[in-house]
Structure 1
């Protein structure tokens, strides 16, 4: 079996951009190759047209193209034609694409198309209660209509996407994202920086970062030495039209609290683990997610996590057992859960240990890769 992935992002030095979608695809691709499956990755919207063969993966960089009119249509057809030529030449069995922006709208493949619900614009607009451009909804709905089947990282994401698009009569298979757990080891969980609170992710409204100033203020009333470290890109804010969400956050922090906040910005993915190891507790007060890779990465590193309690999160964490679930706008309770971890080292370590055990049961990429292979086989050769 030869599987192809069509994606706007992938973690490679020659690829323009990579975030959560790219990370989850890379984890899966690596595991599929280890199990003897051939994999090709088509990365569109790139600066160059190039084929890279590395670590058993064939990566096709598809150059971005501009057209005088109807570029959204003609570029999609260009991507399709390129993919079709490789599909035929390399005998690819199935192609997978994300739901975001409906990139496969207007594409017609001769092999089965599977769409994975990484999170469409429609999905995120619904969760954020934000108005969506009709064009975006139309593209995404048309793309889903052309798919043979769907994969959702959580049952919540699958059911909500199905409700929003009314994607009837097509199978939605729930398969979590996964981690190469041997790469997320913390051999000395008892060694950390006391009272260090860590957030990892883009500084953007939907991730709940604008709730952190109030939450941190409540934590520092009891723990004046608490420190908040933020890692991730800054971003534009859709509500205020500010070019910098970090600037909005600074304006909301108490001046004395801000002295204990360290915004590091984006750092190489390989360095993030060092910060997770240092953390006393990790916080993810997001309003919109399909699963949350950084949440399970922190859990795998034996960290107590205080996470949003919305929808998908209930499939990652058992509240009070292997982490904590709180609505981001409940600042008092969110802060209280953080303080509970900071107060008691043994409690923090026990939650972290249980979090690691949860990832071993639910997010081991070796097991998850097998689930994907069985699903692909069924789509390729239906009974």
Structure 2
């Protein structure tokens, strides 16, 4: 089977949950004998190509004209897909929510949308209106799809409040976690003062509330330090969200917070291993990879109670859930782990067992292949 993903994210060029999923999923599919192509728009005016453990990645030149850039970029992606299909027949083209809006469909190919979290989905949690143009593109993209994969029950049901699946097949298939890569590492010493966060540095990830929680946490554990790993996020005017945090919360940041920036995906397990507690207080997720990755390493994890949080963690059994909008609740949950270290081993064992059952790569790959065959057959 030849699967072509439309995406500009991949850990080698751009970090993020979608890119991490693509790398884990694509490498595993290649090992099973499938062909994987990933086509996206780059940041230069030249095409770039890369092969990552058998995964073929194409970064196409970005449109030079600012007007109708989305349409121009979409056309370039279609031309590339058409060329790849002529070279080796493509069975599936998959994109995130917006990716099929203006794609000219090739009749022999089945088109799939994986719900990573689109404009409609996040507009509510970010308390902003749906932008007419983004909303129109998303609706058009959904109309063009032959099937949909939801990465959690929550994203499937919540998206359906705003967008129609047009009676096309929809299936819930979790993200696969590389449980060999993310496994307990007893050779690395845990820093008892290390609180770790990983993810994009933006408001919806709850990082501002976590920073504000640090002085309260240090009232009981005075040496605690927050380590932040992830890529920058920028406002529309080009200013950095990270720089805003450093400026607005300077006394806290200067005392007990370090921004490490983006690190290679392969280095992430080491950072989890060093942590005493991993905290991911997202305001909203479709699923999120960081929590189950850290859980697979038997780490104490505080995750958000919102969205798919209850699908990911059972409170006080596999981890802890917090209200990400309430700083006192974040503090309470982190302190529970710090003050109940005798319970961490049991929770860690439960957490890894849960991840092995729910996010195991092999059955998840099987489910994806079966779903792809289903929508191909339905064409």
The answer for the alignment partner of 1:74 in structure 2 is 72
Instruction: State the Cα deviation string for residues 25-75 of structure 1 (Å, max 9, x = none).
Output: 111111112222222222233533244444222223322223475332233
1:214, distance to aligned residue in structure 2 (A): 3.0
Partner of 1:26: 23
RMSD, aligned α-carbons: 2.3
- After superposition, the Cα gap between the structure-2 partners of 1:186 and 1:86, relative to the gap in structure 1 and judged at 3 Å, is same
* Counterparts of 2:344 and 2:187, CA distance in 1: 10
Flag the 1:103–1:112 CA change in 2: closer, same or farther, 3 A. closer
Farther-moved stretch of structure 1 (66-75 vs 294-303): 66-75
C-alpha distance in 2 between matches for 1:72 and 1:256: 40
CA distance in structure 2 between the partners assigned to 1:180 and 1:68 by the alignment: 39
User: Structure 2: how far apart are the matches of 1:326 and 1:68?
Assistant: 42
Alignment of 1:126-205 (within 5 A): 126-188=124-186, 191-205=189-203
**Match status 1:359 vs 2:336:** no
Which 4+ stretches in 1 moved above 6 angstroms?
A: none
Task: List runs of 5+ in structure 1 lacking aligned partners.
Answer: none
Instruction: Kindly indicate whether the alpha-carbon contact (under 8 Å) linking 1:220 and 1:257 is maintained by their aligned counterparts in 2.
Output: no
1:264 is the counterpart of 2:260? yes
The yes-or-no answer on 1:63 pairing with 2:61 is yes
Does the 8 Å contact 1:306/1:326 carry over to 2? yes
* Post-superposition offset of 1:122: 2.1
Query: Deviations for 1:297-353, whole angstroms, at most 9, x for unmatched residues?
Result: 111111111111112111111111101111112222221111111113221222222
**CA–CA distance in structure 1, aligned partners of residues 68 and 241 of structure 2:** 33
The residue aligned with 1:8 is 8
Q: Distance in 1 between matches of 2:3 and 2:250?
A: 51
Asked if the contact 2:211/2:252 (under 8 Å) is kept, the reply is no
User: How do residues 1-383 of structure 1 correspond to structure 2 at under 5 angstroms?
Assistant: 1-12=1-12, 15=13, 17-47=14-44, 48-67=46-65, 69-99=67-97, 101-110=98-107, 111-188=109-186, 191-237=189-235, 243-251=239-247, 253=249, 255=251, 258-382=254-378
Residues 182 and 142 of structure 1: is their aligned pair in 2 closer, same or farther, counting only changes over 3 Å? same
Shifted more, 105-114 versus 279-288: the winner is 105-114
CA distance in 1, matches of 2:199, 2:11: 16
Q: Is the 8 A contact 2:201 2:231 kept in 1?
A: yes
| 1:251 Cα deviation from its structure 2 partner | 5.0
Shift of 1:144: 0.8
Question: Structure 2: 5+ residue runs without aligned partners?
Answer: none
- Over 3 Å counting, the alpha-carbon distance change for 1:250 and 1:40 in structure 2 is closer
Measure the CA separation in 2 of the matches of 1:42 and 1:86: 10
Once the two structures are overlaid, the 10-residue window that deviates more, 179-188 or 244-253, is 244-253
What is the CA–CA distance in structure 2 between the aligned matches of 1:52 and 1:266, rounded to whole Å? 20
Cα deviation for residue 236 of structure 1 reads 2.6
Structure 2 SS opposite 1:335: helix
- CA separation in 2, counterparts of 1:251 and 1:68? 32
3-state DSSP of counterpart to 1:381: helix
Is this contact kept in 2: 1:102–1:136, CA < 8 A? no
Instruction: State the TM-score, normalized to the length of structure 1.
Output: 0.91
Query: 1:197 & 1:81 partners in 2: Cα distance?
Result: 46
Query: Cα 1:217–1:252, aligned 2, differ >3 Å: closer, same or farther?
Result: farther
